[in-house]
Chain A
Amino acid sequence: MDLIGTFLRRPAAASILSLIGVLAFYAIFGGVDLGRFAAAASWVNLAANLGIVALPVGLLMIAGEIDISIGAMIPAGSMTTAILSGYFGLPILVGMLGALAVGVLVGLVNGLLTVRTTVPSLIVTLGTLVAMQGIVLSSSVLLTGGVSVSLAAPDWAKFAFGHLIAGSHQVIIVWWVLLTMIFAFVVHKTRYGNWIFAMGGDKDSARNAGIPTKRLTIGLFILSAVCASFVGMCQAILFNSAQVSGGMGFIFNAIVSIVVGGVLLTGGFGSILGIFFGTVTFAVVSQGIYFTNIDRNWSNLIIGAVLLLAVLMNNTFRKLAVNYTGAKNRN
């Protein structure tokens, strides 16, 4: 009884329940063989690519900000790698560092504009999203004369960033799990995590308590842009080519994963475990439908329904958590 209560009060509770619910739904109504599904690569690959972006964006949302420019940073990362190392033939290390540097730069612009002005980060990053799309497209056309560049990465880079484990699982899954563990440690075990939660709860009080809120915000924006261009870089190395399009789908998909994972859009509440399970839930819903005998055209409907249900559950559980501590204090 108390165990259940403790579980329900955790931010990750709704995402874990949603995941179980979706799996049960697919198994009962869709006739999915869960063993075969667990071994399948499609949903893990999707979850890993999405998850690496969702982690830092989730931190931003816990801090009360949002970053939608990631939609342009994924193609920016892959194009930078492919143009530098593929088209100009520079060493792959230069291309990779270039991609990450573009991420640092855009994150810095996002962060500076957000902390220096009163403009909401949704609008700031909408501006950089559109601007970066244009910059990536036009620089690709100007430099290479096309919108798609091929890239031949050396073996060590392919092994580290872009080969298929057992012929089906992308190596980026390892990076995702690794990054999740690092994020979980930093957010839940170091003071930086506390700072982020404090900032999302009440920015003014956080600053008054001595937290360098501006530097922290800029750092978080840099983190999310770098993670997005890292995903782009890995995709370019994996597929041996980079396209200027793609990435826009990540914007809403990442937000859905994070919110299903129990992060409060208004800030101050959430967990890395929640974001992890939110991403897994999203990937299971959108890829799992291919394993069912449900018509796959309905998958968006299920995503929408899961999002709304998970958010409602989160709301209920959060009230539970808040009331619980309140009751304890009164006694």
Chain B
Amino acid sequence: MATGATSGSGGLGRVLRRPETGSFLGLIVVYVVFALLGGRNFLTAPGWSSWLNMAAEVGIIALPVGLLMIAGELDISVGAVLPASSLTVAIISSHYGLPIYLGIAGGLGVGLAVGFLNGLLVTRTGIPSLIITIGTMFAVSGLTLGFTILIAGSTGVFIVPDPLTKSIFGEALGGMFQVGIFWWAGFVVVIYCLLHVSPWGNWIFALGGDRQSARNAGIPTQRLTIQLFMLSGFAAAFVGVTQVITFGSAQVAAGSSFIFNSIMCVVIGGVLLTGGAGSVIGIVIGTMTFAIVNQGIFFSGLDPNFGSIIIGALLLAAVLSNDTFRAMALSYVAKKK
């Protein structure tokens, strides 16, 4: 619209070529379908809170995982960092009775440390990040289980947070909307600015597009990769902190579902696994779509197991339509030249 020269169809074409258009259409379709099936309950506060709560949890992790995928990397270890962080909080602040802020700092520190290790191993060895983070996932979950049994003597640790901490990390507004939704919104704003406003974001796209050229252009690719892994470790640890404070207990076995769920949100949101393309808005839309299908199915009266068939179909539809949209975008540029 700013150029004024583009005709109506040109404007439409430009909208269609945006990476998140396909995922936005998917979101609308999914919401309408579940609104028709689920009726009033799904459209009112209980319905919204159920899918927003889920979207917030997986969304906080999906954002940095999405950045990593834009940069051409993967992070599987988030599934082990989440319970590691919850248990660190519970062990420090409940088992040893130290102040809660020390526990939270410890939990987040675990996430940053694992992220740093991931980044260091990926940049120093040249081994694919899928393999490195599978390795750290096994190692971290082994350490979590081993130390928890060693220190606390069981696989779960309880904690009673003080009211202030509870209200910051684990309150449910109106008994329904978790405060995590606002944290998710905060993460979205910060990561949006990082990716789409600051030069750091351009670096990430450059890294995912062509690592060699990015380094030749003077981008500190190794430092950037390590920072991105630390960000995803931090986000997973943050969700671990909010979970332990919300539920008042930390379990060793939690978190593995987040591995594939976060990747699915990111892919439904139009990010390429091969790197170099994607947007924060797309990741948010993908997360919301994922959460609506997952929770909406309970309001629809359908067999809940149909939910995963829909998610699988949606995932394939999303990647196929992204394929088409990208081909359109690329051919358009070629024509202009």
List residues of chain A with CB under 8 Å of any chain B CB.
113, 117-120, 122-124, 126-135, 137-138, 141-142, 252, 255-256, 259, 265-266, 295, 297-305, 307-308, 311-312, 315
A252 to B131, CA, bound (A): 10
Q: Which chain B positions have C-beta within 8 A of A295?
A: 146, 149-150
Q: Which chain A positions have C-beta within 8 A of B260?
A: 126, 129-130
8 Å CB contact of B146 from A120, A252, A298: A298
Asked whether B323 lies within 8 Å of A300 as measured between CB atoms, the reply is no
Asked whether B312 lies within 8 Å of A131 as measured between CB atoms, the reply is yes
The residue in chain A whose Cβ has the minimal distance to the Cβ of B266 is: A123
Pick the most buried of B126, B303, B319: most chain A CB atoms within 10 A of its CB: B319
8 Å CB contact of B312 from A119, A120, A129, A300: A129
Q: Which chain B positions have C-beta within 8 A of A120?
A: 273-274
Asked whether A133 lies within 8 Å of B308 as measured between CB atoms, the reply is yes
The residue in chain B whose Cβ has the minimal distance to the Cβ of A66 is: B130
Q: Which chain B positions have C-beta within 8 A of A302?
A: 142
A119 to B138, CA, bound (A): 28
A132 to B308, CA, bound (A): 8
A255 to B138, CA, bound (A): 12
Asked whether B149 lies within 8 Å of A126 as measured between CB atoms, the reply is no
Q: Which chain B positions have C-beta within 8 A of A126?
A: 260, 263-264, 267, 315
7 A-B pairs in the complex with CB atoms less than 8 angstroms apart: A113-B316, A123-B267, A134-B307, A138-B305, A266-B128, A295-B149, A312-B125
Asked whether A137 lies within 8 Å of B305 as measured between CB atoms, the reply is yes
Pick the most buried of B138, B146, B149, B274: most chain A CB atoms within 10 A of its CB: B138
A298 to B147, CA, bound (A): 9
**What is the distance, in angstroms, from B216's C-beta to the closest C-beta of chain A?**
22
Q: Produce 1/0 per residue, B311-337, CB < 8 A to A.
A: 111011001100100000000000000
A262 to B127, CA, bound (A): 12
Asked whether A122 lies within 8 Å of B139 as measured between CB atoms, the reply is no
In this assembly, does B143 line the interface, its C-beta being within 8 Å of a C-beta of chain A? yes
**What is the distance, in angstroms, from A312's C-beta to the closest C-beta of chain B?**
6
For residues 72 through 102 of chain B, which have their beta carbon under 8 Å from a beta carbon of chain A? Answer: 76
8 Å CB contact of A256 from B134, B141, B264, B310: B134
Asked whether A311 lies within 8 Å of B127 as measured between CB atoms, the reply is yes
A298 to B323, CA, bound (A): 43
In this assembly, does B121 line the interface, its C-beta being within 8 Å of a C-beta of chain A? yes
A23 to B126, CA, bound (A): 28
Asked whether B273 lies within 8 Å of A122 as measured between CB atoms, the reply is yes
Asked whether A138 lies within 8 Å of B146 as measured between CB atoms, the reply is no
**What is the distance, in angstroms, from B71's C-beta to the closest C-beta of chain A?**
15
Q: Produce 1/0 per residue, B109-131, CB < 8 A to A.
A: 00000000000010001111011
A307 to B76, CA, bound (A): 14
**What is the distance, in angstroms, from A258's C-beta to the closest C-beta of chain B?**
10
Given A127-B312, A307-B134; A301-B273 close (CB under 8 Å): no
Asked whether A142 lies within 8 Å of B142 as measured between CB atoms, the reply is no
Asked whether A307 lies within 8 Å of B131 as measured between CB atoms, the reply is yes
Asked whether A137 lies within 8 Å of B136 as measured between CB atoms, the reply is no
Asked whether A300 lies within 8 Å of B141 as measured between CB atoms, the reply is yes
Q: Which chain A positions have C-beta within 8 A of B136?
A: 304, 308
A9 to B102, CA, bound (A): 50
**What is the distance, in angstroms, from B234's C-beta to the closest C-beta of chain A?**
21
Q: Which chain B positions have C-beta within 8 A of A300?
A: 138-139, 141-142, 145
A130 to B141, CA, bound (A): 24
Asked whether A127 lies within 8 Å of B121 as measured between CB atoms, the reply is no
Asked whether B315 lies within 8 Å of A303 as measured between CB atoms, the reply is no
In this assembly, does B186 line the interface, its C-beta being within 8 Å of a C-beta of chain A? no
**What is the distance, in angstroms, from B193's C-beta to the closest C-beta of chain A?**
28
Q: Which chain B positions have C-beta within 8 A of A298?
A: 142, 145-146
Asked whether A123 lies within 8 Å of B132 as measured between CB atoms, the reply is no
The residue in chain B whose Cβ has the minimal distance to the Cβ of A310 is: B135
Q: Which chain B positions have C-beta within 8 A of A128?
A: 312, 316
8 Å CB contact of A297 from B142, B306, B308, B320: B142
Asked whether A131 lies within 8 Å of B308 as measured between CB atoms, the reply is yes
A127 to B290, CA, bound (A): 13
A99 to B237, CA, bound (A): 41
**What is the distance, in angstroms, from A225's C-beta to the closest C-beta of chain B?**
15
The 3 closest A-B pairs by CB, nearest first: A131-B312, A301-B142, A304-B139
**What is the distance, in angstroms, from A8's C-beta to the closest C-beta of chain B?**
18
A235 to B187, CA, bound (A): 45
Asked whether A134 lies within 8 Å of B135 as measured between CB atoms, the reply is no
8 Å CB contact of B137 from A133, A138, A304: A304
In this assembly, does B1 line the interface, its C-beta being within 8 Å of a C-beta of chain A? no
Given A266-B128, A301-B143, A307-B138; A119-B309 close (CB under 8 Å): no
In this assembly, does B58 line the interface, its C-beta being within 8 Å of a C-beta of chain A? no
A207 to B139, CA, bound (A): 40
